[in-house]
Structure 1
């Protein structure tokens, strides 16, 4: 049995993949925070790459988030939602930024690796700058949920600003806590897009569901219609 090519079936497939990937990412990240001795208020997520328990779980969670994000893009396209080249590029920079950050951990005095640290830092900057812009870039093409996407995108922008303040002035804002809030809002934006794709599953291209009447078996197409009665 081959994979169905019907738009609705393809959308449900990508929605399932995206949902499973993000659920796994959330589960892995939660377990990591429960078993690690790091302080979630002051320690950044990057520091969890080097932990007493749960080594490797941070990278697995971030990679799962990247996979779920790319699957969300596929779900939107399968649902017939027009995604511009700009939005596709932002999906790519967000996901690739996450992937690079997972594969190249940050550099710390006890675990020095300047090259990996530079790649990690710039990958994170690119990823976290991309997602709020992605949300705003989709507003003109989404068939529904625009208010929610606009609100979450604004929240992601605010969290990004607060994270920058916390990073520069750690005595003013707990950088670890703000970073986690920023990530939660970013993932919430991806989840809102999954919901929109799911709702648009039966709409088809253009976002309009049209039922086509089937030919009546009682009518012989070889005879002309008798016209309206």
Structure 2
């Protein structure tokens, strides 16, 4: 389907642009430790504004993929749930990019809580969507295995972040978050590169297509 290929190309272009913006946002900031502080902490620094733009770019790149994934296989509850979760992922990134967190070392305000829980929803939604879409790929076992592996790894990293944020005293919090982001962006990249499913031939085309003669193996001359 051309729509899937076109949407996938736009998504890949958006991922590439967002990665470059995120790198610029990290390099431009001094005095913060990426192992312990979050990407959002970099984004609210004086030189980290490009990271907010990167979040918005990924949100847009994910949104253009939603209509194409709706055409991935016959409609059922799993497909509808997966596309809805992908919309939650895109929406969570959009809110996170528009509503910044508080600067490091300052009390959390309402905007910071909105940013936090929008990010949590996004981080949870994408791997579940990937797992549901993997079920719909029986003819693509390699892609199905990778989607499931990336989805499971993402959920484990979400659990690791929750542990670090509360009983773990934020140990390696920034490093775990960056590993989670890398894993989920890899999952999104895989979704964008899924081959387009072949549409079945219309009935008239099946009737007109030449049929190969069947050879009876038991027939003797």
Q: TM-score range by the shorter chain?
A: 0.7 to 0.9
Q: Which stretches in structure 1 are left out of the alignment for 5+ residues?
A: 1-7, 217-229
Q: Deviations over 1:144-168 (max 9, x none)?
A: 2111101111111111111112222
Q: With the length of structure 2 as denominator, give the TM-score of the two structures.
A: 0.80
Structure 2 residue 117 is matched with structure 1 residue 115: no
Shift in alpha-carbon separation, 1:22–1:120, aligned structure 2, 3 A: same
Match of 2:164 in 1: 166
1:139 aligned to 112, 122, 134, which one? Answer: 134
Structure 1 match to 2:24 = 31
Task: Give the RMSD, CA atoms, in angstroms.
Answer: 2.8
Matched, 1:66 2:59: yes
Q: How many Å separate the matches in 1 of 2:4 and 2:127?
A: 24
The count of corresponding residues between Structure 1 and Structure 2 is 202
Is residue 80 of structure 2 the alignment partner of residue 85 of structure 1?
A: yes
Pair 1:200 & 2:196 matched: yes
State the TM-score, normalized to the length of structure 1.
0.77
Question: What residue number does 1:106 align with?
Answer: 101
Q: Does 1:51 align with 2:45?
A: yes
Relative to 1, partners in 2 of residues 1:113 and 1:168: Cα closer, same or farther, differing over 3 Å?
closer
